[in-house]
Structure 1
Amino acid sequence: MEIDIESYLEEMRENNPDAFLKLMQEAEMIDMFNSTGIQQRMFYAYNFVSKKFYTVNATLRREGALTRIWVEDASDQYMTETLLDNLLANLESFSGANSIDPTKGIVEIDTMLFGQPPNYDGDGIVDFLVLDIKDSYSPDENNEFIAGYFSPTDQTNQAMSNKMDLMYLDSYPGFFDGQNYRTEPVLSTTAHEFQHLIHYNYDQNEELWINEGLSQLAGTYCGYGIDFPYLYLENPNQSLTVWEQKLQDYSRANLWTLYCAEQLGLEFIKNLTQNPSNGIASFNESLQFMGSPASIADVFRSWTLANLINDRSVDPRYGYIATEASGLRASVTRLVYQYPETVTGIVKGLGVEYHRFRGRDSLQFNFAGTIPQNYWLVSRNNLYSIASILQNSYHAPFFSDDSTYILLLYSTVQDMAYRYDSYASFSLRYFDMVYDDGQTDVTVRFDSGNLPAVAANRFIVPENNLDLESVRFWSASSDYNALIRVLSNNGSQLPGTDLISPLNIMPESRNNWVEIPLPEKLSGLRENEIIYVAVEINEANKAIGYDNTLASGRSYLKLSGNNWSLLSNYSFSTNNEPASGLWMIRASFSGLIQSDSISDQSVEEDLIVLNNFPNPFVSQKAGKNGNGTHFSFQIINPGYLRIAVYDILGRKVHEMSRQVTPEGRPGSSVYNAIFWDGYGENGPLAAGIYIYRLTFLDAISGKRIHSPYRKLVILN
């Protein structure tokens, strides 16, 4: 947080000279007072509501080897001795359980990561002022508050500067929320703001996406978690370098800087902090200083894959190391499941979109105009094939729901518009049943006396003959066992018996959606049939998401020793307000239908194709036993035949064309045959599975006819 003190003083000098003179006199008095006492002093602080400075009296309450803690006299009521001891210990002696080094405090970890603070006052000590920061917090109307800040004004000799290396921490509701004494909300901010103080010592003009990202990393590496990762992962088409002071900016910067620290090392992080250049130039110069030939574009490309895959066993570049990032994955930006469909959009500079394709049989999409930067991912059972599409038209044979197909679109330069037309033989009826608004209003915990606690949402099947394929719920906790249950309707509009065997799952990350594909889909559901998706909690103080919405859904709760009841019959223990909202539990239903039209891929009786023979085969010239293979077919009229061969990633590896005339009529035993030796442009193809298709252009009717895709195997 930076306050423009020069503009503030100049405006006061011109518009209110009497107030300016009084302020200067007051500053002299404060300097005189502070020079006479060590245990007490007066501080300037900033009122974020009135946008004015004010003074507070504070007393020195704790002093360590590296830090001093001052407490505003009016905040004594919020700061217990235990709380102050805990704060000093977290600053100097230990940090969070998932810290990069739990035996060190915030100050030592941040200086290890980023460098030294300024030491403006020359005493080698960092001061912390605990006060009730004047913000817009209201326990009844506004739960948001400023947990702490660093003011560059204090690093100057201007009026209203405290002239010291100082950070401000919030007493209420930071350390005391009206009911509970706590440190966690403030400690993460302390690590965050202390990085800003250090960064000020090296580079006072760094762009916010880097400076704030490093501060977010400070909170994570001091053991206080990752802030709101889902805010970026659910909407990843955000420019990495654009900063709008929104929560998703902090979410994005946190994940990006954590990834850079894990992939490029802590020495890179320190160089980035201390590099005097700004923005992308600073990032690339820091890479060069480390001897890396990479650029920010290279790191960004790998990061887009890491956010989707997040599994270092696939590739060390494609996942996170930090425990807090385990299980985090980007959401699908666009689900393409009805064909034909034209998809358009704009990928932002240093942004990314993830398009998933669902359906069956061969998939084709054709780019119009410039092909955006991309990756094409096909995965099954945690095995991935990753390639880039370089041609405007792409075919994916053997398209099915057994595998996952993702088109990743990104840009390492400016915003990029795209358009493509997609086709498949079978479309998907798909319904993602969502009653919440995606924003978690309350995280609900259950004490041990209420366990097991089962939270459920009701879902009404939207169409006939659908399958329940997956469920999701929002978990505020991690590393606990929960049961996912799908229940029938008992006839009294309450959850009944299990329709599937309960699924035991363990959320890997907190404050994130947990998606659970059903091992076997619940099939054959009828339109308007009622089912319930439930999350059973068996461990105390584990929390799930609740949305205070007026949507049309219906939620239920079953506590230990009680029957099922509407959630609205319960009240929250903190304020006795009725729980009239909904659990953040979702369900996805699907079913296949034949597409209305496909991309010129219909199979015609005018072209009859047999399987190639022999199959498998060895390339003719690859060895003395090489035999090649024959493609056999029947046609009615003369024309032109093209045979295209693709690898399993859909890349064309060979194509040949022939002018052909019919040698046998359909129904006869006489077929045309074309021989292929198993060679591509660069010699014999490698052993493996390939896909081929015949395309015939009828010279009489002008009709273009495609055969189905078929499989061949080369044994070189």
Structure 2
Amino acid sequence: MRATLHNTASFALIAALLLVLSGPKPAFAAESDPDPVSGRSVHLTPQLDLDLSHPGHGSAEHFCGTDMTSPSARASVESYLAAKRAGLYPSARKGGYTPDIGAEQEFKVREGSTNSAFMLLNFRLVDTTSLYNLWVEVAEITNGNVSTSDISSLKSVIHDSTPSRSINPSQGLFANNNDVFGLPPNIDGDGIVDVLMYDIGRGSGSTLGYVSSADAVLNPPADQMGNGRDILYLDSDQGTSNLATLAVIAAHEYAHLIHLSYGWDTTFVTEGYAEYAMVMNGYYWRGVNFTNSITETTQPLFTWRDGGGPGAMDYERGGLFFTFLAERVGTMAIGQMMQGLKKKGGAGIDSVLTMHGENLSD
């Protein structure tokens, strides 16, 4: 049965989206793009003035820290997809060796909220489930930032259940994201996500989570970022001050990790999927403040600006767009859009809409 989004604000969301769609429509042109899995294909892609040179998409103000646009991030994605096409990654998801609770291990993590440098930190395994292992920076346990109560509470919000308006309140956001979007890359073959909690900003900043495409690279060099695992990074300092907010961030960033399996899309589309992941898990976190501005409602739909635009309005528009599409064709269709390998951007979205009797021009 196709999962659907039970959204009590449907009419308000649709009305707001119509304001967006009243602005200029993105142009499309035939373009030859690489097929991430099997080679090359010709398809329609939006002709957009996208800046792909900045180091990340989320400023500290907007919490999201995944870098998907820097040259190094894009190179890591291409390396992963090439190795995947060559069959170099494990095809089976086998239950690998899980260390005992209390085991300690070093991982490479990003140094600071926006710094591309990395550092080695010591982590302790504090919880295991069938979907993830939770590791916490040892120093954050020692200083009291992460308590036993925090560990239990985090499990309840990301593993055990989601709010009543989610697509399936009886299971956590990891399972809900998996049901809709698919599974993460499975870099090391154990079928388990490693969740690493540490003080991302080292006492400052407000980036609460991210994923790193460098983790998907096989046998990463010792002097470069990358752990060769499926990893979701969450903040252990400010993040534990409000675990409900951290759960929202986890839903968003975990969608990015799953999306990496298929190759990330344009920034607007990639962020839109992650914003919708927050909504489908029962969190109505962002508003639609952009609808109060003529300047914002006349932005071309797929526009993405550095940091997500003023007041994170590009995030708002992306989340609203995919929420609207889910209202039209169902939640599972959004997952089909993300899973597209040969077509990205507007063409990929439109190809799935067509399967469901809709199209972007309606």
TM range (shorter): 0.5 to 0.7
Is residue 166 from structure 1 mapped to residue 253 from structure 2 by the alignment? no
Is residue 150 from structure 1 mapped to residue 221 from structure 2 by the alignment? no
Q: Which amino acid aligns with 2:359?
A: S
> Which one of the candidate residues 198, 203, 211 is aligned to 2:258?
198
Distance change in 2, residues 1:262/1:161 (3 Å): same
Q: Distance in 2 between matches of 1:118 and 1:240?
A: 29
Structure 2 unmatched runs, 5+: 1-65, 76-96
* Alignment correspondent of 1:605: none
Note the alpha carbon deviations across 1:23-69, whole angstroms, 9 max, x for none. xxxxxxxxxxxx99662110111123543111110000011121111
- How far off is 1:208 after superposition? 1.5
Structure 1 unmatched runs, 5+: 10-34, 139-143, 177-181, 299-716
Q: Which amino acid aligns with 2:197?
A: V
Note the alpha carbon deviations across 1:516-567, whole angstroms, 9 max, x for none. xxxxxxxxxxxxxxxxxxxxxxxxxxxxxxxxxxxxxxxxxxxxxxxxxxxx
- How far off is 1:6 after superposition? 4.8
Q: Distance in 1 between matches of 2:129 and 2:200?
A: 24
Higher strand share: 1
> Which one of the candidate residues 127, 130, 133 is aligned to 2:197?
130
Q: Give runs of aligned pairs for residues 615-626 of structure 1, distance below 5 A.
A: none
Q: Which amino acid aligns with 2:131?
A: L
Note the alpha carbon deviations across 1:117-170, whole angstroms, 9 max, x for none. 1111111111100100037x74xxxxx511100111111122231111100001
Residue pair 2:272, 2:321 contacting (<8 A) in 1 also? yes
Residue pair 1:130, 1:171 contacting (<8 A) in 2 also? yes
Tell me the SS of whatever aligns to 1:113. Answer: helix
Q: Which amino acid aligns with 1:197?
A: L
Which TM-score applies when normalising by structure 2? Answer: 0.67
Q: RMSD value over aligned CA atoms?
A: 2.4
Q: Give runs of aligned pairs for residues 275-354 of structure 1, distance below 5 A.
A: 275-276=340-341, 277-290=343-356, 292=357, 294-298=358-362
Q: Give runs of aligned pairs for residues 199-218 of structure 1, distance below 5 A.
A: 199-202=259-262, 204-218=263-277
Q: Distance in 2 between matches of 1:255 and 1:110?
A: 18
Q: Distance in 2 between matches of 1:209 and 1:36?
A: 37
Residue pair 1:175, 1:186 contacting (<8 A) in 2 also? yes
Distance change in 2, residues 1:280/1:53 (3 Å): same
Distance change in 2, residues 1:41/1:237 (3 Å): same
Is residue 188 from structure 1 mapped to residue 248 from structure 2 by the alignment? yes
> Which one of the candidate residues 62, 68, 85 is aligned to 2:133?
68
Q: Give runs of aligned pairs for residues 601-680 of structure 1, distance below 5 A.
A: none
- How far off is 1:280 after superposition? 0.9
Residue pair 2:196, 2:233 contacting (<8 A) in 1 also? yes
- How far off is 1:109 after superposition? 0.5
Q: Which amino acid aligns with 1:241?
A: F
Q: Distance in 2 between matches of 1:93 and 1:79?
A: 19
Aligned residues: 259
Tell me the SS of whatever aligns to 1:224. Answer: coil
Q: Distance in 2 between matches of 1:49 and 1:270?
A: 29
Distance change in 2, residues 1:8/1:75 (3 Å): farther
Note the alpha carbon deviations across 1:564-621, whole angstroms, 9 max, x for none. xxxxxxxxxxxxxxxxxxxxxxxxxxxxxxxxxxxxxxxxxxxxxxxxxxxxxxxxxx
Note the alpha carbon deviations across 1:632-657, whole angstroms, 9 max, x for none. xxxxxxxxxxxxxxxxxxxxxxxxxx
* Alignment correspondent of 1:242: 303
- How far off is 1:85 after superposition? 0.8
Q: Distance in 1 between matches of 2:210 and 2:264?
A: 17
Distance change in 2, residues 1:199/1:50 (3 Å): closer
Tell me the SS of whatever aligns to 1:296. Answer: coil
- How far off is 1:114 after superposition? 1.0
> Which one of the candidate residues 42, 48, 68 is aligned to 2:106?
42
Residue pair 1:119, 1:165 contacting (<8 A) in 2 also? yes
Distance change in 2, residues 1:126/1:284 (3 Å): same
Distance change in 2, residues 1:36/1:261 (3 Å): closer
- How far off is 1:8 after superposition? 12
Distance change in 2, residues 1:36/1:85 (3 Å): closer
Q: Give runs of aligned pairs for residues 546-561 of structure 1, distance below 5 A.
A: none
Q: Distance in 1 between matches of 2:71 and 2:299?
A: 32
Which TM-score applies when normalising by structure 1? Answer: 0.35
Q: Distance in 2 between matches of 1:108 and 1:7?
A: 27
**Farther off after superposition, 233-242 or 166-175:** 233-242
Higher helix share: 2
Distance change in 2, residues 1:93/1:49 (3 Å): closer
Distance change in 2, residues 1:55/1:269 (3 Å): same
Q: Distance in 1 between matches of 2:74 and 2:302?
A: 29
Q: Which runs of 4+ in 1 moved over 4 A?
A: 3-9, 35-38
- How far off is 1:188 after superposition? 0.5
Q: Which amino acid aligns with 2:110?
A: Y
Q: Distance in 2 between matches of 1:46 and 1:40?
A: 19
Q: Distance in 2 between matches of 1:267 and 1:7?
A: 28
Residue pair 2:209, 2:234 contacting (<8 A) in 1 also? yes
